[in-house]
Structure 1
Amino acid sequence: MYVALEGVDTSGKSTQIALLKEAYPHALFTKEPGGTKLGQALRQKVLHENLSPPTQFLLFLADRALHLEEVLKPNANKLIFSDRSLISGLAYAPYPIEQALELHRLHGLLEVLPDCVFLLKLHPKALKERMHTKTHDFIESKGLEFLEHTQERLLQACQLLGLKTHTLDASQDPKSLNKNILERLKRL
């Protein structure tokens, strides 16, 4: 089973991944972008350099293609948890989601889709509060309105792909949120 945790930065994905590692020590944990050696380098370049939106998108497509071949396909028989997935690639794309989806389709990047998505969503007030507590990479520096819009695009991408999606309030206590995720995973 392939489970993706999605949400904008500060939604608590990393915290939930850490808690899931405790609950599922034998599962495979990965991330997009950055789940491969090359992906780590691409991630750093995109997050910390002022690249054009099409360049960012194409680098993320390259990372996704490699991640599909090196991580997802060879481990299809395992429980996989991913910090982001192609859903984020669609949501953050500088194009309409349908157009970004078509680019994924043209390059064969829709072969492996998450079986389940946990979308951690923050209300605008909570998102604003959390954004003030950290330094920002290039994408986060686009502002609160951009991140709110991206949250909506994350849900839109899940719906467009027909994925089983659990939208959860990310402003709740991390342990309560984790309990909610674990209970839902048991029912899958």
Structure 2
Amino acid sequence: MTDTRPTPAMVPGTPGDTASDTNSRIDDLRHRLAEGTEHLSEAARARVVAARERAISAQRSARRAMHDGSDAATDLFDRQPLVIGALAFALGAAVAALLPKTRTENSYLGAQRDALMDEAERIFQEESSRARAALDTAQTEMTSAARDVTDTAARAARSAVDDAAEAAKDAAHEVETKARSSAKEVKAKTKSAAKH
């Protein structure tokens, strides 16, 4: 018989569900922070990720500050109920503060967030350029080294072929000389045997 009771991770809003969501969000954030940096060195990747983290941290800090300001205003209204009447006109501002935070953030914090994201992108582009330049330099050096090795190997091969050809000529000359000498000896022995 299988247990059909839900686990904490299966029930929305439970600690297991929240921990699972948090871990999933953290993994997603790590992936997004490092996105596009795979071809960079570890140091360059760390600088780009750090710049992106600073931009996100600044955005979160601003969001917290806005929330804390809102909480302080609520506390004031609770402690000073008469102020509420005097500040009825401020109701429009309170309604505006309740609008979706992305609009508010964009209007108040968008420029700063954009500047930080631009800095992160600039660092990313700078590190990418450095990586490409280093790759180009390494490729040029490898091509040059390969060419040098090929030239050296070709010279060594030509030298070896020349040495082998010279050795073959010497060996052929020696065989020819010995063959003539042997032929002369055989001829002399044949003449000598024919005389006897």
Whether these two folds match at TM > 0.5 is: no
Tell me which of the two structures has the higher relative contact order, counting C-alpha pairs closer than 8 angstroms and 6 or more residues apart.
1
TM-score of the superposed pair, with normalisation by structure 1:
0.20
Which structure has the highest strand share of the two? 1
TM-score of the superposed pair, with normalisation by structure 2:
0.20
